Chains A and B, each alone.
Chain A
Amino acid sequence: MMKFLYSLNNIWNYVIIFSFSVIALLLIYPLFSIFFSSFIDNESGLFTLQNYSDILGRRYYRTAIYNSIVVGIAGMVGALIIGIPLAYFTTRYQIKGKSLITTLAILALVSPPFIGAYAWITMLGSNGWLRHLLQNFGIFIPTIYGPFGIVLVFSLKFYPFVFLLTSGALSTINVSLEDAADNLGCNPFTKFIRVTLPLVFPAVSAGALLAFVLSLADFGTPSIIGRNYKVLSTLAYNLYTSEMGGNPGLASTVSIILIFISLIFVYFQRRLNKRKDYGSSLLNRPTVKKLKKIYSIPVHFLCYFLVLFSSIPSIVVIFNSFRNTSGPVFKPGFGIDSYRRIIGDVPDAIFNSFMFSIASVAMVVVLGTLIGYVIARKQSFVTDILDSMIMIPYIVPGIVLGLGLIVSYNSKPLVLVGTPLIIILAIFIRRLPYSVRSSSSILKQIRTGVEEAAINLGTIPSKAFLKITLPLMMPGVIAGALMAFVTAINELSSSIILYVGGTVTMPVRIYLSVLDGEFGTAAALSSILLITTGLAVYAVLSISESKENAFL
């Protein structure tokens, strides 16, 4: 009894209870609703397995499953092919302008993938200027539409995960192990394959998993550049919003299959990495070597080519935004017509985007910091459960979460569908894990002793947190908030399901403009997004000490 009363006194227990309630309402209940609805017949409302037998039985649906896995794996492989060499060269050799390479990779990481897809279309689509240009020289290349385009965008978008995680691991492994391999007669290539790569495998596979899961979940890219190439995320969207009357049952079934595929990959990544914690070395770190002259030029060329190639879409979009347009056709001449048009036509999208992002980020930061603290410092069976539940949003595609929220909150007692709140809540729960991760990892660098010292000197624990730990966490919390803001303002996949006329956001507007062939509007809105994102990234880079880690 005393123990129970004592536990009520502890403010952190309220944080834990509140966190579980939030997760239950915004995550568990919606996912359960989808799960439930996948077993319901669309017309009769009765229990059925028909949805599953339809999806797994009909060729059309089966193709979408197959396609999703193919582009997911291909996108992941592309990310590995770009990310690993880039990581190796930049961590082990003196590359001029290394921070520029990192910055460009970070920009590629945070800019929304659908903007990349759209930019490639303006270059290599049916009316693409680059295609026309090349045609004038007698070079005919096929359009970018279809799986190739999707994989290209995914590879260029998700390689930074592999690059940043692998760089971190490569620059902290114990170099004696590599020296031992040398000493035992390994040639450099064998050494890399047999010693270095296995040592950084946990980091590489974590990056690869992120690339795969995010490729699988992405909606904008396959929808814009995929044309008739159906994947699960576009299928779920179409099934739900079909003009012939949506089929929530089938859409839910597709969602469950999406989550299931992600889970399988998460499971295998975990299994492969079981007992593979090699630790890192603080003292015996690899030295950065000078490249021999003959290698220097090709290596520099390769590194810069990779990062510049991945930033082409951003440059093209900003360039396009100043061109004169008429629908999907770019006219000669430059001007700010596109910007004038968006301010006249869609000011609400810009306003909404900023309002929703700021609101959700405020919530994310407060709760994320508190949960991060509870997980890092109040370790118990209960907080371990909280820790694993908070990771659920990583594997739930935005489209699926959006569907879940609609299914859950479109009837009394709580009708949220159509309100700004539901979009804010969707962004909030999707970004919460990132904030929790970043705050708990900052806490690992702050010694617990300082807070105990404050308590020992007569400070109440909650005040000790506010006066000692929170100020020390602050740089990390601000960096985390800016990153949450970047991802929030670029959110498309849940908003596309949840928006109504009055709650349209910039990414949704860009998506609709691209579909309507309003390329000028799309370019101007995309530029605003890119520049906002760039400024936020600049702010993060200037306040955080370990630059790359702030973005993961």
Chain B
Amino acid sequence: MSSVTLINIFKNYGQTKALHDINLEIKSGELFTLLGPSGCGKTTLLRTIAGFHKQDSGSIKIDGKIIDHLPAYRRDTGMVFQDYAIFPHMTVGDNVSFGLKNKNVSAKETKELVTEALATVRLLGLEKRMPNELSGGQQQRVGLARAMVIKPKVLLMDEPLSNLDAKLRIELREDIREIQKKLKITTIYVTHDQEEALVISDRICIMNSGEVAQVDTPWKVYKDPKKYFVASFVGSMNFLKWSLISWDQKEKVLVENKFKDSYENSNDFNDEDLMIGIRPEDIVIRRKSIKEENDNIILPGFIEKISYSGREAVYHVRVNDDVRLLVNIYCPDELSIDEIGSQVELEISKNSMMLFNKKSGLRCY
């Protein structure tokens, strides 16, 4: 049970800002995910914590103690690698006991701990196998057992599931989640898969171009994104221009004032930058127009494309030449997925709208 604190971490590769002013507080026992597109710095940050890279400036603390001066082999972090990194010339048992030998654990205790760890990852009885006799999923379980058997202060997982096929990925991520909760081991988990991040994490840190965009619980990250980037990266999001919709004067003044605050310099104001974000599931779609007494936005359009995936269907609705909105329908019936070209009406509640300043990337409302 340990906490990790990152203070003002900077790292450049030549002109490229790999990490820019990273400040994070990872709580004891938490599963904390670094999420972002490739090249956003998440793996660099993880490897810096492990001690494989050295930050240019800033400090890393584990349990309040600075570990910057410690080499990788003395940091007491257990790492699970993307390509498993199982020692191919050692048996499963030797792989798992490898770190214990470095800690001079007695032979008897080593045996018990290895058995326990293999039982935890459901590989009991495979001690004598060589890694090339195992499937990818089994190899990664060995990787997990090897990292956690040393009871590290922090478990570091570098895209551990990305080399596995879709079914195994889901199975193993549930296992990781359960084991992590059972052992209460502080874990930093790197992934580029936003769905994986939402499912597995206690908190998510979304990174973009070497900077932290937002740190929040999965629910908050999805429902309350603080940046344009976060809204567009996590889940799918419709964006349309603010100016497309007619607003009454009171609303207009209110939004424009908030909008002005989102610029570094309020003179940069340009209402072309103001974007509305709406989740596809927050749009109501219907065939016939109904007149209702509320101030919801009504947009007419026609169905251009339907992506059916069983549990749901995504309708691509053409509103005008520039705007096409995605609408999620749960449990679509047979007829409704065969309606390409038909005219529909979309209804959007103003409460479900988020407003973003595309230029500064900030959320205004």
Which chain A residues have a beta carbon within 8 Å of chain B's beta carbons? 447, 449-450, 452-461, 464, 468, 471-472
Cα(A468)–Cα(B50), bound, Å: 19
The interface residues of chain B lying within 8 Å CB-to-CB of A471 are 89
User: Closest Cβ of chain A: how far from B52's Cβ, in Å?
Assistant: 6
Q: Which residues of B contact A468 (CB under 8 A)?
A: 87
A341 CA to B132 CA, complexed, in Å: 55
Q: How far is the CA of A450 from the CA of B142 in the complex (A)?
A: 13
Decide: A447 and B150 in contact? CB cutoff 8 A: no
Q: Which of B21-29, B75-83, B271-279, B355-363 is the contact stretch?
A: B75-83
Known A452-B52, A452-B72; contact A457-B78, beta-carbon cutoff 8 A:
yes
The answer to the question of B86 belonging to the interface, with a C-beta cut-off of 8 Å to chain A, is yes
Report B-chain residues with C-beta under 8 Å of the C-beta of A457.
73, 78, 98-99, 102, 146-147, 150
Query: Do A453 and B88 touch (CB < 8 A)?
Result: no
Complex CA gap A463/B55 in Å reads 25
**Counting CB contacts under 8 A, is B134 at the interface?**
no
Given contacts A459-B73, A472-B88, contact A452 B81 (CB under 8 A): yes
Q: Which residues of B contact A447 (CB under 8 A)?
A: 83, 85
Instruction: Give min CB distance, B98 to chain A, whole Å.
Output: 6
CB distance from A475 to the nearest CB of B (A): 10
What residue in chain A is nearest B143 (Cβ atoms)? Answer: A453
Q: A452-B52, A454-B87 are in contact. List 7 more A-B contacts (CB 8 A).
A: A447-B83, A449-B85, A450-B88, A457-B147, A458-B73, A458-B150, A461-B71
Pairs across A and B, CB under 8 Å, 23 listed = A447-B85, A449-B82, A449-B83, A450-B88, A452-B81, A452-B85, A453-B81, A453-B86, A453-B143, A455-B52, A455-B71, A456-B75, A456-B78, A456-B156, A457-B73, A457-B78, A457-B98, A457-B99, A457-B102, A458-B74, A460-B73, A471-B89, A472-B88
**Contact yes or no, B89 A458, CB < 8 A:** no
Q: In the complex, what residues of B have CB within 8 A of residue A450's CB?
A: 85-88
Considering only CB atoms, which chain A residue lies closest to B103 in the complex?
A: A458
Q: B residues 102-131 with Cβ under 8 Å of A?
A: 102-103
- Is B102 a contact partner of A449 (Cβ separation < 8 A)? no
Between A449, A452, A454, A458, the greatest number of chain B beta carbons within 10 A of the residue's beta carbon is seen for A458
| A481 to B: closest C-beta gap in Å | 19
Nearest A-chain residue to B47, judged by Cβ = A452
Across the interface, name the chain A residue whose C-beta is closest to B79: A456
A472 touches B89 (CB 8 A): yes
A454 and B88 within 8 A (CB): no
Distance to closest chain B CB from A519 (angstroms): 50
Chain B residues contacting A453 (CB-CB under 8 Å) are: 79, 81, 85-87, 143, 146
Question: Which residues does chain A contribute within 8 Å of B239, judged by CB atoms?
Answer: none
Instruction: Give Cα A468 to B101, complex, Å.
Output: 14
CB neighbours (8 Å) of A458 from chain B are 73-74, 76, 99, 102-103, 150
Distance of A458 Cα from B77 Cα, bound (Å) = 9
Contacting residues, chain A, for B222 (C-beta < 8 A): none
The reply to whether B72 and A456 contact each other, CB–CB distance below 8 Å, is yes
CA distance A450 to B76 in the complex (A): 17
In whole Å, how far is A470's beta carbon from the nearest beta carbon of chain B?
Answer: 10
A450 and B156 CA atoms in complex are apart in Å by: 15
Residues of chain A within 8 A of B146, CB atoms compared: 453, 457
Per-residue interface assignment for chain B, residues 53 to 87, with 1 indicating a CB less than 8 Å from any chain A CB and 0 otherwise: 00000000000000000011111111101111111
Instruction: Give the complex CA separation of A472 and B99 in angstroms.
Output: 19
Chain B residue with minimal CB distance to A471?
B89
Q: With A458-B150, A460-B73 in contact, do A449 and B52 touch (Cβ < 8 Å)?
A: no
Cβ–Cβ < 8 Å partners of A449 in chain B: 81-85
